[in-house]
Structure 1
Amino acid sequence: MWGNIVWGHAASTDLIHWIHLPTAMYPDQWYDSNGVWTGSTTKLPDGRLVVLYTGATDDFVQVQNLAYPANLSDPLLIDWVKYPGNPVIEPPQGVRDHDFRDPTTAWLTPQGKWRISIGSKHNRTGIALLYDTEDFKTFELLGQMLHGVSGTGMWECVDFYPVSKTKKVGLDTSENGDDVKHVVKTSLDDDRNDYYALGSYDDSGKWTPDDPKIDVGIGLRYDYGLFYASKTFFDDDKKRRVLWGWIPESDSVGADIKKGWASLQAVPRTVLYDKKTGSNLLQWPVEEIEKLRSKSWEFNHDLEPGCAVPLKVDDASQLDIVVELELDEESVKRANVETEPSDSCQGIGGGSSKRGALGPFGIMVSADKDLFEYTSLYFYISKSSNGDLNTFFCTDLTRSSEARDVLKPIYGSIVPVLKGEKLTMRILVIFFVFVSNRSR
């Protein structure tokens, strides 16, 4: 229900441990009475913070609004003030009232103006509009769009940021130069997945994808599981770019009401440019996750086809698992050519229970001793007639739960594994125990 959406508020010193704070903003004005929606924060050179966010008006028109901290010296930024002149941006001519949302963090242009992008669509073409401002109160719509891709539908939660081609650090959103690539990312309202592409950006506002065949919305995804509406921010303290994402888990409405919550925030990740491939981003859980480790175990096994080797560890509510697998080269040479090479984990057929010439091989987590319930995470390799290998990394949820009212798909994608590299996976397993204090 749009009218019940508000901005939550939490605080953390390490991105892992959180405390609840009072709600930051309620839908209490005519310009956001039906929802305080996605926004982005920009830090100005003098240390001030401004937030642009989407509000849904009394008539469900999507407009962009300005807010700022009431007390910048408050380290928790408890209180926020809405600009009395809101809304600062209304849907432009040719854009439908309900197809105009989710402003990005602003970046500086060489002319000293701040520039933002807002997601929209024109017919079936997803687009990212551009606006310039000097004061975040008055905005100019540019004639040049940041980008658009035919057939992708509405673009939500657009993100735009630079990545370094040469250094293992994150970059401030305003960075540009010869050693920089720019990422355009969108959340597609049609299929509820997050897509990104790498490209080049010039200061006129033009962004060009490196490879149009894997353009935004038709190519690479951040994640092939349940992951949506993500945003990044630049951590100036640790010089890294951090990615947030939403996990829209698939419990039924009845189950959500019973447990008192719905959906999750994913573990934050750092994002870097993949210098080895030049065509991908590298994502990894933030380093703070390692503070949660208390004990460690190491196992080494030679695995025969069809075997399942139990790994005995102490009872734990959280596990951080790193698996390295090496293929026997002679087995790879002897492997039969796939008669029908697949282009997806779903297309392999049978998921983790379907045996092929080279796979599946991986790990089963959250498994009971009888293997009635488990979640499989595995590699699968297809071999073409010319000897080329395609490596898939897949997750099979078909046996992950006895519940019949949740989604249990098989998903994943091709992952680039270069010559000499091991097949490596890292798995964070988190068990949730919820205690309700509601009266019955």
Structure 2
Amino acid sequence: MWECLDFFAVLSGSNGGLDMSSAIPNGAKHVLKMGMDYSDKYMIGVYDLKRDVFVPDTVIDDYRLWLRIDYGNFYASKSFFDSKHGRRIIWAWSNETDTSSDDVAKGWAGIHSIPRTIWLDSDGKQLLQWPVEEIESLRRNEINHQGLELNKGDLFEIKGIDTLQADVEIDFELTSIDDAEPFDPSWLLDAPKQCREADASVHGGIGPFGLVILASDNMEEHTDVHFRVYKSQQNYMILMCTDLRRSSLRPGLYTPAYGGFFELDLEKERKVSIRTLIDRSAVESFGGGGRGCIMARVYPVSLVDDDHQPHMYVFNNGSTMVRVPQLRAWSMKRAQVSV
């Protein structure tokens, strides 16, 4: 069953949006987005206005291989054209993954994701997403680290910010890409399985490297957001994971390992970036400049105690050293809604 459909025009190489009520320029593509199998998938193709027919660029029979907006707890998304700033914005529903009794106790259930600007990559093959720029107005107390070197097993703590409400941007520079393990195309059918079997503690060639967030003092509770680099026949495939399996000591929670793959030309630029927004139970991550996105909901016991600040780390468990030329992080203020 398909539900929560969306249909909009995009222009390759432009991060601006297109107004569907105006004439669509030549060369534009269209995106057909549908909600199915508890995820939002999409196709890119050409819309023939005269025949009222949408023709996908690529037809893939197995829906498990269809493109996804987000690999996490992100559903029923809807986009709109922001005429003031000339951009297309998308946001979605993220449901609770604790118990129904918890929902009753809170008096509410479900949140919206952070609004994202969405556009077509320059190669015309996939959508890119990034938090709307207005989010940056909530930043305060910036910390900055440069020139970090992470060898196998290194763990560097990020201090000086509110780790319960934070915005973190990190560039990971790969010192070598020769140690990338071979990519198995069958992994595309079940990327979360690969995240479970090759988790953040399993040493690899290049990776895992990334973030440990919402971590308790003894690491009994923690959430991993991390990457692994694989070499395919054509290019390099990046596995992006958000692993919630050790995120909370509370019983009855849904704590999966979310994951997905995206492609990068590491021969051209040996860098993998991550931006993660943390808003207490909401963890929203953008990998590779918005090529891979994962929304997650976490409920660590430490969140109950407002006086306790969970720990945050950047780490590398791969054999190849990873440099961090730039790490920036901010505490985030509460948003004030202006009507």
Distance 1:269 1:293, change over 3 A: same
2:163–2:214 Cα contact (<8 Å) kept: no
Q: Give the Cα separation in 1 of the matches to 2:11 and 2:180.
A: 39
Contact 2:183 2:237 in 1 (8 A): no
How far apart, CA to CA, are the structure 2 residues paired with 1:388 and 1:265?
35
Mapping of residues 392-411 of structure 1, within 5 Å: 392-411=239-258
CA contact (8 A) 1:197 1:215 kept: no
Q: Contact 2:235–2:265 at 8 Å: present in 1 too?
A: no
1:26-425 equivalent positions in 2, closer than 5 A: 154-174=1-21, 175-188=23-36, 191-203=37-49, 204-213=51-60, 218-275=65-122, 277-300=123-146, 301-315=148-162, 317-329=164-176, 332-334=177-179, 337=182, 342-343=187-188, 344-348=191-195, 349-383=197-231, 388-419=235-266, 420-421=268-269, 422-425=271-274
Q: Is residue 341–residue 383 contact of structure 1 (8 Å, CA) maintained in 2?
A: no
The 3 A distance-change label for structure 1 pair 335 and 166 is closer
Unaligned runs of 5+ in 2: 282-302, 305-339
Q: Report the Cα distance in structure 2 between the residues aligned to 1:181 and 1:428, rounded to whole angstroms.
A: 30
How many residues of Structure 1 are paired with residues of Structure 2 in the alignment?
275
Give 5+ residue unaligned stretches, structure 1. Answer: 1-153, 435-440
Would the alpha carbon gap of residues 232 and 290 (structure 1) be closer, same or farther in structure 2, given more than 3 Å must change? same
Query: Does the 8 A contact of 1:209 with 1:215 survive in 2?
Result: no
Residue 358 of structure 1 aligns to a residue whose secondary structure is: coil
Alpha carbons of 1:220 and 1:284: their partners in 2 closer, same or farther (altered >3 Å)?
same
Query: CA-to-partner distance for each residue in 1:285-332, whole Å, 9 max, x for gaps?
Result: 011000001121112310011221111123354211001001112xx3
Structure 1 Cα separation of the partners of residues 238 and 9 of structure 2: 28
**Mean CA deviation greater in 386-395 or 244-253:** 386-395
Partner SS, residue 254 of structure 1: helix
Q: C-alpha separation between the residues in 2 aligned to 1:272 and 1:236?
A: 15
Q: Computing the radius of gyration over CA atoms, which structure comes out larger, 1 or 2?
A: 1
Three-state SS of the structure 1 residue aligned to 2:80 is strand
Cα distance in 1 for partners of 2:221, 2:150 equals: 22
CA distance in 2: counterparts of 1:252 and 1:370, whole angstroms: 26
CA RMSD of aligned residues (A): 2.4
Does the Cα contact within 8 Å between 2:34 and 2:41 map onto a contact in 1? yes
Distance in 2 (alpha carbons) for counterparts of 1:387 and 1:206: 32
**Paired residue type of 2:178:** K
CA distance in 1, matches of 2:105, 2:141: 34
Report deviation, 1:372. Answer: 1.5
| TM-aligned CA distance change 1:324 to 1:252, over 3 Å | same
SS of the residue aligned with 1:373? Answer: coil
TM-score (norm 1): 0.58
Contact 1:196 1:216 in 2 (8 A): no
> Secondary structure at the residue paired with 2:229?
strand
Name the amino acid aligned to 2:68.
R
Whole-Å separation in 1 of the counterparts to 2:63 and 2:80: 20
Q: Secondary structure at the match of 1:290?
A: helix
Shift of 1:336: 5.4
Kept in 2, the 8 Å contact 1:382–1:390? The answer is yes
Query: Relative to 1, partners in 2 of residues 1:339 and 1:221: Cα closer, same or farther, differing over 3 Å?
Result: closer
Q: Give 1:428's aligned residue.
A: 277
Q: Secondary structure at the match of 1:211?
A: coil
Assess, with a 3 A threshold, how the Cα gap between structure 1 residues 285 and 336 changes in structure 2: closer, same or farther.
Answer: closer
Code of the residue aligned with 1:431 in structure 2: it is R
Using the alignment, how far apart are the partners of 2:117 and 2:158 within structure 1?
A: 29
Letter in 1 for 2:121: D
Using a 3 Å threshold, how does the CA distance of structure 1 residues 312 and 232 change in structure 2: closer, same or farther? Answer: same
1:130 is matched with none
Alpha-carbon offset, residue 202 of structure 1:
0.8
Is 2:13–2:121's contact at 8 Å kept on the other side of the alignment? no
The 1:260–1:295 alpha-carbon spacing in structure 2 relative to 1, beyond 3 Å, is same
SS of the residue corresponding to residue 277 of structure 2 reads: strand
Q: 1:340 to 1:192 in 2, by over 3 A?
A: closer
Counterpart amino acid of residue 365 in structure 1: I
Deviation at residue 400 of structure 1 after TM alignment: 1.0
305-314 vs 283-292, which moves further:
305-314
Letter in 2 for 1:410: A
Specify whether residues 182 and 239 from structure 1 end up closer, same or farther in structure 2 by C-alpha distance, changes over 3 A only.
Answer: same
* TM, length-normalised to structure 2: 0.75
Higher relative contact order (CA 8 A, sep 6+): 2
Structure 2 CA distance for aligned equivalents of residues 296 and 253 of structure 1: 38
* Separation of aligned partners in 2, 1:327 and 1:222: 27
Deviates more, 1:411-420 or 1:244-253: 411-420
